[in-house]
Structure formats: C-alpha cells, structure tokens
C-alpha cells in the first residue's frame, strides 16, 4: 500500500463550516497546505474570505448560515456541479452561551440547538446525499467533553454537543455501507472567541488546567492531526467514533 499519499489531499474538495473561527481556520489552512481545494463557509463572510485568501491557491469562501436549509442545499449543489465531488465535510460552526439554567432564555436555547445541532445535521444531509451518490465521503463533526458530562452554566451547549455525538453515531450506522464515514473530534478547552465567556473567569481556567492530566490548555490547532487522519484513507474503517484531543481530560 502506498502510504506516502495518505495525507495528500490534492484533488479533494473539503468544505469547512465555521471555517473563519479559530479552530475552523486552522483546519482550513491545514487542508489547503495538504493540497485540498478548500471551501471556507461561515456566517461571517468577510472573515471567511480572509481565511481563503490566507490559504491562497484556489481556496474559496462562502457566506453560509448553517441553520438555513435552502442555503446548505444550494452550496452543496453548487460544489457538486462545479467539482463533481465533495470529499470531506468538517462541521465546526457553533455558539456557546454561559448562563445559569434558571436564567437561560428559550431564544438562547433554541439558537444554540439551531446552530450546533440542526446546522450540523442540515449540512451533513445536504453534502451527505452527494457523498452517498458517489460512494465516498468523510464527515467530521466537532463535539466536546461537554457533551459527555454535566457542568454548570452551559446547559444548552452541553446538550447540543451530546446531540452532536448522537448524530455522529446515528449517521455512521445509517450510512455504514455507503462509503461515507462520520466521526467527531473533541478538543479540550481552547481560548477562542467561542469560549471567551468561560476564559474570562480565572478560577474556571485554573480548574480546567487542574482537570487536564497533561496540564496544558488546548491550542487551537490541536485537532489538525486528528481531523486530517479521520479524513484520510488510513481511517477508512473508523466510523461513529469520537476522538478526544484534550490532554487526557476525557479520561478523568
């Protein structure tokens, strides 16, 4: 088997939702470096265009609200028509709200579920149907330790990330014989715009460090290796899996 080309993504089309975010940008740039035709999709169109420009070559960007079913379908359709294949979908778009459960509004609960859960499903559905037609695809979702354990002040986020784990497993089972794999990665606590409400609390940051066996907070590029691996031919038999890149936090 020719292992040299396993991390060569040239002639692969890779769509990254939330590609303008801290982690999404790292993933976008990593796939571009590996030769892929990347599509950086984000609600923030200007920031997405900047990431695509930074990636260079033939990288493109798209304004996308992942909660908009028609827009998700239209983007998938456009890429399918342009390229005839969409090889990898990485769903990173998400929001986080930090508030006591008794004060969480219905609107904030719904918004979190809409973006983190429904958005992940809609884009997976829109892209997945083309992957199934072609008999090949890799979908990688972003979840978190928060989806596996209780923690205060982030009920909606925790529930949304648990739902992402459940969807990952359900799609992996349903699409098991289609050539499409569906996995998730879970970074540890990373100081990004998303997590600013948590990282503004020094006691909480200290408690993160205490709970991480390796003792260091998670850099924003920590999932680059896991995502490229899951998107590579090496991971063909891995589906329905959650890969934690969290310094051992999930083991505690």
Cα 238-243-247 angle, rounded to 5 deg: 150
CA-based nearest residue to 15, from 124, 65, 118, 88: 88
Sign of CA dihedral 117, 123, 129, 131: negative
42 vs 87 by CB, closer to ligand NAD: 42
Number of residues in contact with ligand NAD under rule CB under 6 A = 30
- Of residues 113 through 152, those in contact with ligand NAD by CB under 6 A are 115, 119, 142, 144
Question: Nearest to residue 40, comparing CAs of 60, 12, 68, 67?
Answer: 60
Report, in Å, the least distance between residue 24 CB and ligand NAD: 6
37 counts as binding ligand NAD under rule CB under 6 A: no
Cα separation, 167 vs 150, whole angstroms:
19
Q: Toward ligand NAD, which CB reaches closer, 8 or 65?
A: 65
Q: Which of 64, 75, 126, 156 binds ligand NAD (CB under 6 A)?
A: 64
Q: Give yes or no for residue 30 binding ligand NAD (CB under 6 A).
A: no
Contact criterion met (CB below 8 Å) for 213 and 251: yes
Dump the DSSP string for 59-101.
-EEEE--TT-HHHHHHHHHHHHHHHS---EEEE---------T
Q: Is 61 in the site for ligand NAD (CB under 6 A)?
A: no
Shortest gap between Cβ of 61 and ligand NAD (angstroms)? Answer: 11
Question: Of 96, 142, 157, 244, which is the active-site residue?
Answer: 157
Let me know if 136 is a catalytic residue: no
Q: Among all residues, which ones are annotated catalytic?
A: 157
Give the binding site for ligand NAD (CB under 6 A). 17-18, 20-24, 42-44, 64-67, 92-95, 115, 119, 142, 144, 186-187, 189-190, 192-195
């Amino acid at each position: 088997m020719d292992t040299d080309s396993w991390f060569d993504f040239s002639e692969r089309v890779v769509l990254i939702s939330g590609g303008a975010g801290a982690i999404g940008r790292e993933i976008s740039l990593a796939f571009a470096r590996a030769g892929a035709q990347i599509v950086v999709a984000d609600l923030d169109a200007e920031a997405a265009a900047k990431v695509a420009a930074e990636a260079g070559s033939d990288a493109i960007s798209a304004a996308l609200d992942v909660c908009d079913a028609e827009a998700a379908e239209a983007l998938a359709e456009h890429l399918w028509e342009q390229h005839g294949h969409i090889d990898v979908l990485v769903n990173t778009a998400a929001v986080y709200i930090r508030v006591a459960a008794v004060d969480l509004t219905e609107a904030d609960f719904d918004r979190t579920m809409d973006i983190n859960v429904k958005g992940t499903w809609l884009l997976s559905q829109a892209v997945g149907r083309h992957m199934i037609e072609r008999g090949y695809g890799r979908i990688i979702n972003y979840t978190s330790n928060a989806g596996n354990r209780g923690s205060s002040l982030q009920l909606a986020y925790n529930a949304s990330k648990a739902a992402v784990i459940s969807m990952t497993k359900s799609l992996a089972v349903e699409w098991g014989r289609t050539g499409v794999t569906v996995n998730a990665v879970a970074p540890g606590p990373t100081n990004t715009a998303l997590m600013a409400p948590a990282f503004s609390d020094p006691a909480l940051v200290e408690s993160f460090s205490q709970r991480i066996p390796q003792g260091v907070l998670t850099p924003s590029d920590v999932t680059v290796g896991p995502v490229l691996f899951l998107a590579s031919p090496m991971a063909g038999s891995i589906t329905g899996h959650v890969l934690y890149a969290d310094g051992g936090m999930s083991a505690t």
